[in-house]
Amino acid sequence: MAQYLAELGGLVSALVIAELALTKPGEVPGAHLLTAHASADALERLRIITTIYLIVWFFAGATAFLFGLMHPKVLPPLTSVGQAWFGIAIAAAYAYLGVKPRDAC
């Protein structure tokens, strides 16, 4: 079960990071999947679906992280997943915000 939990968390997080890295700040994640002539309704549906996906990913990961902080010895696999999620969440934020090093002078 611990292996399954780690694998599933890694796969979901990899999808989140990949999609956010392709998305410009302020755009809807996944918008590049629609055609250039997509309707406003299709774009709104995509926005709702990706928002729900990201909210569920965030709260599941944050819950695992907080549980691991409060009760690290109760479920060690969940504690590990929560700690890994925290690092992945930071990477996802960097990917979405497009944080890049300054050009050398």
Model pLDDT, residue 20: 80
Residue 104 belongs to some domain of the structure: no
Model pLDDT, residue 101: 64
Residue 102 belongs to some domain of the structure: no
DSSP states along 1-33 = -HHHHHHHHHHHHHHHHHHHHHSPTTSPTTGGG
- Count how many domains the chain has: 1
User: Contact, 6 vs 85, CB < 8 A?
Assistant: no
Domain that holds residue 92: 2-97
Residue 35 belongs to some domain of the structure: yes
Residue 43 belongs to some domain of the structure: yes
Residue 61 belongs to some domain of the structure: yes
56 vs 13: CA distance, rounded Å: 12
Q: Which residues of the chain have pLDDT under 50?
A: none
Where on the phi/psi map is residue 30: left (φ > 0), alpha (ψ -120 to 50), or beta?
A: left
pTM of the full predicted structure? 0.72
17 vs 20: CA distance, rounded Å: 5
